């Protein structure tokens, strides 16, 4: 017979106010195998843990059940506690009587009844627990950073500075991302390029950083410490070794297309670098728009290239590399305005998005930094800024707040007043949200010093009237209808997850929220980790974020990577699936349901009388198995057991609840 | 093709020309419109109170009758009727509770099997605007027409699903098929003032004033509508402009789209109005 100790936690009043601890203890004493019962106000405290260790020694306990908060909270803590007392850490069982009991019930009588039932379940399971042991695994001490915006740049630099090799993969021909498109940055108005470009150069020059541009992650296999990643190096059609970045090719290229970097406000060539400060400053040929690739004639760039670097024969290359950790920093997309026909975007050239406005204000932008109306090239006198376009809109946009728009709109209003003296900014808003250091002061400056007029109201319609635009809204504070005649309308477009975020999440076995932003492992306590060990998040791919938050998160992710790569080896998770080959029928139902590709088929030889026959059975790769248990359910002969959650244990739990 | 046809009250009275030109043009296009027997008023407004289901009885009666007659489509003309029928039908398809109550009361088993369509949709989807253009014998060459959608054809967007709410094109495409010049102006989907013309004339007058002035400024010689109430408001307040003297928008004719269709197909009979 096992000697089980049961410890009940009050969690202050969190549990004790709803669950009758005395009564639960009395019930626990009568449970089979329980030889000792105690309670504590805060079991996770040093005193509480000492109580458990002492009771294990004094009462020769060999299994421990703790009735407390969710195992996701303190299971690791308590495992260490029982291990310190000389028990296998997997002899611990936690009954969640807080999140799943006291927090969700009001009636003490029924909550106590449920707590007793949960304790009985845990006792039944603990009585059948087996010792489990972790094994050591080696670590590939290199990191992969996906995305070369400010988040990826910061993470890569921090990891590289700590002495580890980093591959930085960027899908565009240059790193820099969204931040490279911006003019000034809030709340200090320092020039975005001035603070970003040096970092981009650092990346290019850092001995530990291997810059892989114009490339995408194709496939991710393996697990923490040992990822194998296939990277697609898209054919650049330019030999990076030979190219000197002189720029003769794009000066002479005859095909012009809308520049993505300039948000379509200017043209680029088919052979191009996205912007003059590109890193690497070497062009790529956009084959879809190249005259040679579409019609077979041209080759102008090849003729003018003094280095002979143009290579039309290049093919995409798949490269397989190994990493110990991965940082995802893929950024965001701006919201598509298809659902906002009322704002006449795309119908009238003077209705622009805020990112387009950034390009208009930018000294290296299409107008050389002059704010001019796209329709006639004249400076605007009156500009309406419409906030929350696609944000906080349950009906047809994103229900969430995009977080950055209030601040960048205040910035735009300030820049307008500086660049076009006498111009008026009218900002239509729902609420102005400016939490952040020096943020509220910045917003105050927009209307106090720079004269921006803030009108609380959701704009219902924008339409042309002659060469002007009419903005119709309500002024919600006075209740009056407002019609403003303006020269330009700037839409503060919401922040979306990348269109291909779900696809990447699948490759990485990480999860997304309802809007396709990657999920952190815990919203408060593990903000840069994901549920998949070894994969970390930085920047707006996890949720809308401004530059200060992005950089902070990127550095945090880098620290996590560094502390992982600093280890000599990793301990494996022992709660993995195990196949009993005597029972395995070899129908491989388990293989079909395994989300981690951890099950493979294996052929074993068996003697049948004189004959030796080969038989197919399933085999679990314990390094890949994450212990989800899907295979144990799919297995018809019941040949697969999840260690720590064996079929026997689970049936015992069911019996404890039902009988 | 045979359609169940629900005219609605106004088409039998004030908007007789709407019905006449509809039936003339439908005949010319080989469309058979079979009027629902003993139809009743559609209710004029779709009830805003979701618990109020009995106003839906009348439209469901007509829909059930259309189904019993073996028609898969019920056509309406007045934008008000269309709005009520379309939304009622949607509710009968999606809301089991309302469906149960109404069918219980009517002793029917109607589940939204009939499609509610507007005559414009038939012209677009069943006839086809390209084919329609070929059938036009007197093209409206050089005529500058401003389409006016109003609200009821389009909104609420999720329930009507008629056209793009902010940038609809069906009227424009229709007018081009007839050979007319389409006048673009920003007020084509603004409200005409609706029933406020009874309760608060000034609001309606302001609304109509904006629409007409904008259409006129953009060169419109006539407005085309699909709603008797819009037409009433647009015409009624022009009289006021005439009295106020000097409003250039006074005197713009407001026509049902079927009037132009009848003219273009050259099937318009002399009808006393």
Complete DSSP assignment for A538-587: -GGGSS---HHHHHHHHHHHHHHHHHHHTSSEEEPPS--EEE-TTT--S-
Residues of chain A with Cβ-Cβ distance to B164 below 8 Å are 341
Q: Is residue A424 part of a domain?
A: yes
Contact state of B166 with A342 under an 8 Å Cβ cutoff: yes
**Cβ A274 vs Cβ A172: under 8 Å:** yes
Full residue range of the structural domain in which residue B12 is found? 2-119
Report d(CA A150, CA A199) in Å as an integer: 9
Instruction: Report yes or no: A341 at the B interface, CB cutoff 8 Å.
Output: yes
Average pLDDT of the residues of chain A: 95
Please state the rounded mean pLDDT for residues A521-546: 95
* Chosen domain end from B87, B119, B151: B119
Of A340, A341, A464, nearest to B186 by CB-CB distance is A464
Identify how many contiguous H helices and E strands chain B contains and give both numbers: 13, 8
**Cβ A401 vs Cβ A360: under 8 Å:** no
Q: Is residue A503 part of a domain?
A: no
Do B151 and B102 share a structural domain?
Answer: no
**Cβ A121 vs Cβ A27: under 8 Å:** no
Do B160 and B136 share a structural domain?
Answer: yes
Please state the rounded mean pLDDT for residues A386-394: 97
Contact state of B167 with A470 under an 8 Å Cβ cutoff: no
Test the B interface: residue of A463, A464, A489 with most B CBs within 10 Å: A463
For residue B163, what pLDDT is reported?
94
Closest chain B residue to the Cα of A462, Cα to Cα:
B186
Contact state of A341 with B167 under an 8 Å Cβ cutoff: yes
Helix locations, A362-438, DSSP H:
405-419
Do A595 and A456 share a structural domain?
Answer: no
Residues of chain A with Cβ-Cβ distance to B186 below 8 Å are 463-465, 470
Full residue range of the structural domain in which residue A620 is found? 577-643
- Residues in a beta bridge with A168: A145, A211
Q: Is residue B273 part of a domain?
A: no
Please state the rounded mean pLDDT for residues A276-282: 94
pLDDT tens digits for range A78-125: 999 999 999 999 999 999 999 999 999 999 999 999 999 999 999 999
Of B166, B186, B187, nearest to A341 by CB-CB distance is B166
Residues of chain A with Cβ-Cβ distance to B166 below 8 Å are 340-342
Residues of chain B with Cβ-Cβ distance to A347 below 8 Å are 167
Q: Mark the ranges of chain B whose per-residue pLDDT is less than 50.
A: 272-273
Token duo for residue A298? 């041209």
For chain A, how many structural domains are there in total?
Answer: 3
Q: How far is B167 from chain A (nearest CA, A)?
A: 6
Please state the rounded mean pLDDT for residues A334-344: 94
What pTM was computed for the model?
A: 0.82
For residue B197, what pLDDT is reported?
84
For residue A632, what pLDDT is reported?
95
Q: Is residue A236 part of a domain?
A: no
Q: Which of these, A644, A602, A596, lies nearest to A624 by C-alpha position?
A: A596
Could you tell me what percent of chain A has a pLDDT over 70? 100
For residue B273, what pLDDT is reported?
43
For chain B, how many structural domains are there in total?
Answer: 2
* Chosen domain end from B93, B119, B145: B119
Contact state of B186 with A342 under an 8 Å Cβ cutoff: no
Report d(CA A69, CA A79) in Å as an integer: 14
- Pairing label, strands A4-9, A63-68: parallel
Contact state of A347 with B164 under an 8 Å Cβ cutoff: no
* DSSP annotation of A452: P
Report d(CA A232, CA A212) in Å as an integer: 10
Instruction: Report yes or no: A347 at the B interface, CB cutoff 8 Å.
Output: yes
For residue B241, what pLDDT is reported?
65
Do B214 and B195 share a structural domain?
Answer: yes
Q: How far is A481 from chain B (nearest CA, A)?
A: 13
Higher per-residue pLDDT: A572 or A371 = A371
- CATH number of the domain bearing residue A626: 3.30.70.20
Do A484 and A368 share a structural domain?
Answer: yes
For residue B272, what pLDDT is reported?
46
Instruction: Report yes or no: B166 at the A interface, CB cutoff 8 Å.
Output: yes
Do B176 and B257 share a structural domain?
Answer: yes
Please state the rounded mean pLDDT for residues A423-446: 97
Of A341, A463, A464, nearest to B164 by CB-CB distance is A341
């Amino acid at each position: 017979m096992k000697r089980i100790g049961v410890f009940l936690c009050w969690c202050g009043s969190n549990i004790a106010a709803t669950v009758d601890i005395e009564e639960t203890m009395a019930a626990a004493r009568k449970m089979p195998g329980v030889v000792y019962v105690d309670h504590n106000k805060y079991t996770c405290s040093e005193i509480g843990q000492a109580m458990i260790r002492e009771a294990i020694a004094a009462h020769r306990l060999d299994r421990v059940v703790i009735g407390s908060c969710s195992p996701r909270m303190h299971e690791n803590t308590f495992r260490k506690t029982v291990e310190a007392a000389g028990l296998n850490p997997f002899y611990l069982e936690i009954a969640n009587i807080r999140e799943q009991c006291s927090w969700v019930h009001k009636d003490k009588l029924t909550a106590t009844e449920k707590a007793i039932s949960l304790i009985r379940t845990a006792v039944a399971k603990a009585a059948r627990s087996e010792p489990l042991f972790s094994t050591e695994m080696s670590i590939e001490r290199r990191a992969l950073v996906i995305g070369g915006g400010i988040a990826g740049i910061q993470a890569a630099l921090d990891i590289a500075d700590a002495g580890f090799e980093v591959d930085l993969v960027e899908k565009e021909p240059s790193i820099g991302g969204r931040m490279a498109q911006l003019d000034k940055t809030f709340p200090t108005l320092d020039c975005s390029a001035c603070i970003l470009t040096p970092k981009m150069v650092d990346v290019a020059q850092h001995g530990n950083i291997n810059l892989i541009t114009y490339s995408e992650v194709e496939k991710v296999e393996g697990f923490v410490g040992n990822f194998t990643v296939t990277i697609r190096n898209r054919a650049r059609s330019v030999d990076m070794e030979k190219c000197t970045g002189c720029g003769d090719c794009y000066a002479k290229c005859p095909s012009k297309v809308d520049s993505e970097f300039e948000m379509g406000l200017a043209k680029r060539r088919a052979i191009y670098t996205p912007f003059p400060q590109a890193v690497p400053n070497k062009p790529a040929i956009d084959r879809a728009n190249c005259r040679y690739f579409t019609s077979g004639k041209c080759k102008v760039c090849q003729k003018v290239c003094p280095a002979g670097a143009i290579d039309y024969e290049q093919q995409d290359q798949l490269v397989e590399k190994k990493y110990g950790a991965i940082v995802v920093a893929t950024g965001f997309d701006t919201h598509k305005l298809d659902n906002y026909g009322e704002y006449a975007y795309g119908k009238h050239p003077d209705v622009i998005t805020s990112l387009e406005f950034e390009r208009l204000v930018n000294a290296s932008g299409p107008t050389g930094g002059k704010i001019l109306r796209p329709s006639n090239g004249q400076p605007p006198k009156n500009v309406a800024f419409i906030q929350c376009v696609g944000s906080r809109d349950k009906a047809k946009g994103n229900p969430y707040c995009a977080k950055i728009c209030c601040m960048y709109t205040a910035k735009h209003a300030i820049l307008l007043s500086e660049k076009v003296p006498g111009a008026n900014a009218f900002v239509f808003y729902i609420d102005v949200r400016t939490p952040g250091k020096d943020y509220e002061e910045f917003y105050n400056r927009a209307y106090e010093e720079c004269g921006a007029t803030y009108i609380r109201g959701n704009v219902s319609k924008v339409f042309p009237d002659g060469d002007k635009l009419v903005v119709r809204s309500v002024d919600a504070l006075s209740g009056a209808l407002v019609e403003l005649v303006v020269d330009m309308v700037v839409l503060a477009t919401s922040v979306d997850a990348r269109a291909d975020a779900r696809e990447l999440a699948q490759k990485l076995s990480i999860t997304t929220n309802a809007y396709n932003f990657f999920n952190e492992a815990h919203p408060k306590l593990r903000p840069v980790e994901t549920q998949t060990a070894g994969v970390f998040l930085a920047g707006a791919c996890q949720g809308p974020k401004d530059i200060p938050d992005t950089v902070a998160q990127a550095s945090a992710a880098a620290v996590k990577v560094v502390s992982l790569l600093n280890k000599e080896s990793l301990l494996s998770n022992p709660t993995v699936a195990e196949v009993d080959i005597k029972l395995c029928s070899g129908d491989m139902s388990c293989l079909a349901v395994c989300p981690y590709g951890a099950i493979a088929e294996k052929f074993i030889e068996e003697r049948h009388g004189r004959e030796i026959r080969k038989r197919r059975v399933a085999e679990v790769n314990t390094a890949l198995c994450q212990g989800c248990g899907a295979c144990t359910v799919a297995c018809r002969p019941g040949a697969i057991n999840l260690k720590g959650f064996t079929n026997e244990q689970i049936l015992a739990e069911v019996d404890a609840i039902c009988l | 093709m045979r359609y169940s046809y629900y005219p609605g009250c106004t088409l039998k009275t004030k908007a007789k020309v709407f019905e006449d030109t509809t039936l003339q043009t439908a005949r010319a296009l080989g469309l058979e419109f079979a009027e629902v027997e003993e139809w009743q008023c559609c209710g004029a407004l779709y009830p805003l109170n979701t618990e109020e289901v009995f106003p839906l009885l009348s439209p469901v009666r007509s829909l059930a009758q259309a189904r019993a007659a073996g028609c898969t489509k019920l056509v309406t003309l007045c934008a008000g009727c269309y709005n009520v029928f379309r939304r009622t039908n949607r509710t009968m398809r999606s809301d089991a509770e309302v469906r149960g109550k109404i069918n219980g009361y009517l002793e029917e088993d109607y589940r939204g099997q009939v499609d509610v369509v507007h005559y414009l949709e038939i012209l677009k989807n069943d006839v086809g605007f390209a084919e329609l253009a070929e059938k036009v014998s007197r093209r409206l060459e050089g005529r500058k027409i401003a389409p006016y959608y109003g609200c009821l054809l389009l909104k609420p967007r999720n329930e009507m699903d008629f056209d793009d709410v902010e940038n609809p094109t069906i009227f424009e495409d229709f007018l081009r098929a007839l050979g007319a010049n389409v006048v673009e102006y920003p007020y084509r989907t603004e409200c005409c003032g609706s029933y406020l013309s009874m309760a608060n004339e000034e609001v309606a007058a302001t609304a109509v004033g904006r629409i007409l002035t904008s259409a006129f400024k953009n060169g419109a010689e006539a407005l085309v509508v699909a709603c008797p109430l819009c037409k009433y408001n647009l015409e009624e307040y022009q009289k006021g402009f005439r009295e106020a003297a000097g409003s250039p928008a006074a005197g713009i004719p407001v026509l049902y789209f079927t009037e132009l269709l009848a003219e273009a197909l050259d099937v318009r009979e002399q009808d006393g109005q």
